[in-house]
Structure 1
């Protein structure tokens, strides 16, 4: 799968202790390391943040089976921390992929889908078990530590520029597509759960899988420093750049009094979050070890369509072996400044998918007394949640987006920075959600799809393309989300299945349409009224099938009434496209004669003075039977006898099929044979058989 990308940056990144290898992307240029100090700035929280925000839930979220087993495992761990540089097996714990069921003396285990975390009594027991597990074909790696990077704080002010830069502010203001609920699982330190910036945005008080044994993900109010407000800062970026329908599920994996967490805790958290239905994971952490374990968990997340957003790291160097950010399933985000240049602290390289603001970002925190506050911070920990917010907003438009579709949207709307196309500094470019426009062609027309408004416009001259099914249209993915569809007045035809399934859209159609294809509005359940212009001459089969409570407004003597009847819809006539039939009353001694025109559809009539009509053609059409076709549209058949049979040859008036609007048959004509009028392409009328000049009736 192609790599995805995301992110912004803030107070810091959980950094791996060791380094390892990863899949690579093509690099377009080399990067000269820039030395720029990280900035973390504390300021008092603006008092208005506490007002008018709803109260969040206070109950903790129950852990899943794997997370519960992992929590029990930690209770049997002989040590909570260890010097892993001295002994990589110091935590007495293994992360095993391809696990077959043999634990070789483990005192506790947490197992899910071929991934196992095994706890042993001693480092030696873990080391021996790793050898035996490898002989069984499994990959057994010692559990490792991830470290939180922190820096100095400076006073700063709230700055909306970052949301404007990535377009999340414009996205939320412009959206017309109703938002679906999306949960972002944030894996981090402890949270200040009652911070005003987070009110109403948390799914619950969260889960602690750090080994501290807490009932929720709350931070320790007795401790201060960036280690303890990191999660609150990141969460405020997530909350501040998404709609209310996007919620945050807090996970605490960093133990109190430390700036590290174990890779096994992160893996257990990822599994639990995916099991709980989170669609986005936000992780500002990494390690140089446990690649196999993270790869297995990332595969599981990807299979379920979960976007995993990771920070690139704050070392300011080319790093290619940080996990999970270096894995191909991750959306890895580097940091840029307000002027869209790379931040000096941001890592770079082929692991980077996108970039986002990460320098001097105003975030939520707590002051030295434990009260809510705000800080200006820098780091890829803050660029990462901008990426997660972008993913969540797109998923809120369409929760069934696949990771490939999500990445295509992110990449298609990203602003290219640096070298053209992908480069190792900015990845695929700056994340932007204010430029979500898709254009293309359909037949002779051009279409423009705009998100998050959910509008579709067809422009150009001529007809759109025919499709063999609804799923074949270029906008099929967004059919149910479309809110407004507009067709330009230069469009003359809409092909088969064009708007099939656009059930919530309101349509604006021109009066230039001449053809509506089959199933063109199939299952458009939000279509309650439609006006068909008078020049529509074709409405295909099932054009309105599945449309409930539909009223068709249109003109008599067009396909509109028949289309309405076929759909079981009401028909509201706007008028009649008259089909006038001429009755020729020749002069007599007492009557000067006249040409009387009567609409065969609605009965409208008018009379003109008699003038001998032009004869277009005439001749014999049977023994004793003759025909005459007039320019007035009348085909007159007179004489005494039966018409000739025309089953194997065309009737003599076939050349005037486009002209004939009425057929008058004299009283002496005793029979009309089959196929006599088979080639008539216009609607025409026949008079009654008793009187030659009886008012014509619809044929």
Structure 2
């Protein structure tokens, strides 16, 4: 779910199997780090003084993760659930590698990219060989596999219409204290009116939309009532890793809810590193309760609860919640429905039922008294 605008300044892999080198910096005065405008918007420098994500594993369910200097040592070999040959470290499309870079790229000098959580690790779960045909069943299977292999955050910058098993897989993750974050989808890839794609639309998932440098919602993002957060997703540079005949270097500018999803996953990794004992439900609560209000008041279809505020999510005093806040509204409506009487059932509320019982008792007592009075009169007569 990523749209490329420019793909320049690449370097070729010299020999197969050799760790690739990055292209020389461009002659422009603007560095690649400068192009990561969202680092300043989110004040990532301040966030990194608090934590950089050490000890947290983020599963990336995508096209695999290839080799790139900015990802060296950052990626854990997971599993390939895609048809055909390849491992989780095979990326013939490039999408999964780019998402991994947004989350855990190591940084370095100004011409290397810096991830939101550079001390975290990405667990690569290859759910498809390309952005099309990601596998209607592979994503649910990938969620379960990631949960069982140590992921604390699951990033899904892909999706569509899943087969049966999506809601159950998400519930499995939530029940095992794992935060699931997915993109709302791009209008370029999905028909108009299709709504937020799965798994982002599944209750309990942090569904992410995209905004630009000015904080305006990206016109290419799919909106809907399931959107939870908005994050930077426009004009985002990304790594171009080895695989699929690509040269190794960088995409200078990409657009998509894929990008914003990966950025929120990085934010979740920082929260989990700062608060290692914090349950997933409270990680989600931190993300949504500290978001900057945008769009219509409250939760709206474009921004959800608002724009990601990374530093506030790490530092604010947020009270714990009893349940996943993304499930509370659904549970409330479900409870209301179950409490509503069916046709033929007693429709009185508890207070009315109590009053009715009391009234009946009083009537019965009056009848008994009247019977006794009449009986006494007859005896006297």
TM > 0.5 fold call: yes
| Structure 1 portions without partners, runs of 5+ | 1-11, 14-37, 48-54, 56-154, 221-227, 440-448, 450-473, 476-699
Deviations 1:191-214 (CA, angstroms, capped at 9, x unpaired):
22x20111121123x321102132
| Residues 1:405 and 2:277 aligned together | no
Residues 432-471 of structure 1: pairs in structure 2 closer than 5 A: 432-436=309-313, 437-438=315-316
Partner of 2:63: 189
What is the CA distance between 1:321 and its match in structure 2? 5.6
| Residues 1:167 and 2:17 aligned together | no
Select which of 284, 288, 304 maps to 2:161: 288
| Residues 1:355 and 2:227 aligned together | no
Partner of 1:263: 136
Partner of 2:378: none
Residues 198-597 of structure 1: pairs in structure 2 closer than 5 A: 198-204=71-77, 206-220=78-92, 228-239=93-104, 240-255=114-129, 259-290=132-163, 292-315=164-187, 319-320=194-195, 322-366=197-241, 370-375=246-251, 376-436=253-313, 437-438=315-316
What is the CA distance between 1:289 and its match in structure 2? 4.1
SS of structure 2 residue aligned to 1:203? strand
Q: 4+ runs of 1 displaced by more than 4 Å?
A: 177-180, 316-319, 366-369
Question: What is the TM-score of this pair, normalised by structure 2?
Answer: 0.69
What is the CA distance between 1:320 and its match in structure 2? 3.6
SS of structure 2 residue aligned to 1:434? helix
Deviations 1:197-255 (CA, angstroms, capped at 9, x unpaired):
11121123x321102132443124xxxxxxx1111111110113334431001122223
CA distance in 2 between partners of 1:259 and 1:415 (Å):
34
Deviations 1:437-458 (CA, angstroms, capped at 9, x unpaired):
435xxxxxxxxx9xxxxxxxxx
CA distance in 2 between partners of 1:219 and 1:335 (Å):
24
Question: Residues 281 and 307 of structure 1 are in contact (CA less than 8 Å); yes or no, is this contact kept in structure 2?
Answer: yes
1:407/1:395 CA distance change after superposition, 3 Å: same
CA distance in 2 between partners of 1:370 and 1:178 (Å):
30
Deviations 1:594-629 (CA, angstroms, capped at 9, x unpaired):
xxxxxxxxxxxxxxxxxxxxxxxxxxxxxxxxxxxx
1:319/1:399 CA distance change after superposition, 3 Å: farther
Residues 78-227 of structure 1: pairs in structure 2 closer than 5 A: 158=32, 159-172=35-48, 174-175=49-50, 180-192=54-66, 194-204=67-77, 206-220=78-92
1:287/1:371 CA distance change after superposition, 3 Å: closer
Question: Residues 156 and 261 of structure 2 are in contact (CA less than 8 Å); yes or no, is this contact kept in structure 1?
Answer: yes
CA distance in 2 between partners of 1:179 and 1:39 (Å):
28
Higher relative contact order (CA 8 A, sep 6+): 2
1:216/1:321 CA distance change after superposition, 3 Å: closer
Question: Residues 53 and 269 of structure 2 are in contact (CA less than 8 Å); yes or no, is this contact kept in structure 1?
Answer: no
Question: Residues 180 and 399 of structure 1 are in contact (CA less than 8 Å); yes or no, is this contact kept in structure 2?
Answer: no
CA distance in 2 between partners of 1:274 and 1:39 (Å):
31
Partner of 1:539: none
CA distance in 2 between partners of 1:438 and 1:265 (Å):
37
CA distance in 1 between partners of 2:196 and 2:299 (Å):
19
SS of structure 2 residue aligned to 1:263? coil
Question: What is the TM-score of this pair, normalised by structure 1?
Answer: 0.39
Deviations 1:456-504 (CA, angstroms, capped at 9, x unpaired):
xxxxxxxxxxxxxxxxxx79xxxxxxxxxxxxxxxxxxxxxxxxxxxxx
Question: Residues 210 and 265 of structure 1 are in contact (CA less than 8 Å); yes or no, is this contact kept in structure 2?
Answer: yes
| Residues 1:42 and 2:4 aligned together | no
CA distance in 2 between partners of 1:179 and 1:189 (Å):
23
1:361/1:180 CA distance change after superposition, 3 Å: closer
Question: Residues 208 and 257 of structure 2 are in contact (CA less than 8 Å); yes or no, is this contact kept in structure 1?
Answer: yes
Query: Rg: which structure is higher?
Result: 1
Query: Number of matched residues?
Result: 288
